[in-house]
Amino acid sequence: MEFDAVLARRRMVRRYRPDPIPSETVEKIARVVRKAPSAGFSQGHRLLVVTGRATRERIAALAEEHRYEAAQGRWISSAPVHMVLGVSEADYHERYTRPDKLIDGKEMEWPAPYWWVDSGALLMLVQLAAIDAGLATGFVTVRHDQELKELLGLPADVAVVGVITLGLPADDAARPADAARLRSLRKPYGDLVRHESWNVPPP
């Protein structure tokens, strides 16, 4: 797909068809983890792919799917693929205590926690790769993250960022009323972007 077409379809989807997704398609999407940016090439990203129904239903329960059910149905458990997005902060500290990254002999003071910044970048790459494959994605955080880690056997040093849901969008996934509501909430471009100085008003 052309990038403009991919970008036009970028949205969080909460309605999926139950059709299974070919394993080769899932693997191709998951492999973007190796293209995701990471500060200093720390490579702290982690993705755990889950397709088993029972495990997906347990993940949905830990994500408190019932809180969304009245408005959006069982959208977490209905997605045929879950990608649990995690990150190892320790990988960043290990990388930035190597000689080539030290500043005056010490690890730098992080201006922002780049492990979270990089996780957002990976989330977007997974979304775009899924769209390019004709699929849709959503995202949900999991309050019971420790239980989720135990369920999935995630290492202690991996923090759960959230769960990416992935599948074929349902026919009513992009309802006109929903699109109209979001358009009405969209802030003007000039509220988000300025040039040269924030004091210069938008044209």
Note whether residue 187 is domain-resident. Answer: no
The whole-model pTM stands at: 0.91
Give residue-wise pLDDT tens across range 138-161: 999 998 999 999 999 999 999 999
Q: Is residue 133 part of a domain?
A: yes
Phi/psi at 136 (5° precision): -130, 160
CATH number at residue 67: 3.40.109.10
Residue 5 has pLDDT above 90, yes or no: no
Domain limits for position 162: 3-171
In a domain, 18, yes or no: yes
Whether 154 maps to a domain, the answer reads: yes
Would you say residue 203 lies in a domain?
no
Q: Copy the structure tokens of residue 153.
A: 């056997």
Q: How many CA atoms lie within 13 A of 185 on its CB side?
A: 6
Residue 188 lies in a domain: no
As a whole number of angstroms, the distance between CA 196 and CA 199 comes to 9
Interval 178-195: pLDDT, tens? 777 878 888 999 999 999
The structural domain count of the chain equals 1
pLDDT at position 176 over 70: no
Distance CA 59, CA 81 (A): 11
Asked if residue 23 belongs to a domain, the reply is yes
